[in-house]
Amino acid sequence: MLAPQHIRKVAIVGYNRIPFARQNTAYVNASNKDMLVAALDGLIDRYKLQGLLLGEVAAGAVIKHSWEINLTREVVMSTSLDQRTPACDIQQACDTGIETAVYIGNKIALGQMEAGIAGGVDSTSNVPLALSEKLRTILLAANRAKTISSKIAQFLKVRPNDLAPVAPANIEARTGLSMGGHTEITAKHYGISREEQDNFALLSHQKMTKAYDEGFFKDMLSPYLGLSRDNNLRSDSSIEKLAKLKPAFDKVNGSLTAGNSSPLTDGASCLLLASEDWAKTHGLPVLAFITFSELAAVEYIQEQQNLLLAPVLAAAHMLKKAGMTLRDFDFYEIHEAFAAQVLTTLKIWESGELSKRFGVEPLGSIDKTKLNVKGSSLAAGHPFAATGGRVIATMAKLLQQKGSGKGFISVCAAGGQGITMILER
């Protein structure tokens, strides 16, 4: 372990992702490995990494098949990186893509490696199907049976409805509610209107459309399986179209719809992180530095309205350590799981009364013209583990284009968790 004075700066020197695709569209037959290899191959090609031995590659997927053991290492061995490059899998729900960057960044900061790759991938189309619990129990019992007759006796317990496969459920195990179900409670509890949510969602699509038209994403994506841009993006969206959509979770009194909630999505992203010396040696400019990060969790079983609000705590703790205020930033990237979740987070930061419920001081308001300026998850989609890489890459490029400044990042996650990060240039 190095002494604090020897902690090195962690540079973001590269990024790549494949376009994100709505569930059951372009990537319906692509596996996690297929998509992450495509994203990593694009990164390798862009930054001439062929044959290089890196310190480590860390990535993860929230939804994995049982045979996807050692997924990231298998991905690395399917690329042109030096085959001796080690790899590991990390999973922390929607925080995964940022947590992998923290993991690689910490090893660079401590001098344990010079360069590494952080990434994430998820398929909500090509999902694992499990056996029913009853059928699984019967098959295991039959496997343990010592005689043919006892094996047959177990098999005779199987009924036709036991054969139906079970798909992974997008719910919180401790509450039985989906993220959308929780966020519907959030919107009601904190007074976030349908109109506010729809207006926020429309802005995301408009800003991302403009960013594509201006070529902002041109050097950030590798075309894949016929897509060259995120296919969830609705350039023709309007407030009238959004207003016509029916509630998705609370069918009677709900305000969350398919238009103001991020859709189930497939995709992959990755980041190249390095020390300053490594970047200089390899002729790569530093886009931005990762300077601070904070992970937090909140209670959400009794306080069901707070499932996706852990960034309230993470931001307060991180800014205190950094000696900064929420107003000190040139850009803000807040993951748009739902419009209501972003709007609630902003409302709590501005309110002394609401912040006090989380045990922190209010952080104040932000300049909303600096928020998600290139659009975010409502427009791009949200392949769980891949979102962090997309968000960090966008912020790094914004700071590179500006030439200086600070960027604030916030991502909420299942399980009442959330992570924040500061990038500087």
Residues with active-site annotation:
94, 382, 412
In Å, how far are 25, 64, 114 from 294, measured between CA atoms? 35, 26, 23
Length of the chain: 425
The answer to whether 402 touches 365, Cβ cutoff 8 Å, is: no
Rounded CA separation 137/147 (Å): 18
Q: What are the φ and ψ backbone dihedral angles of 224, each rounded to 5 degrees?
A: -150, 130
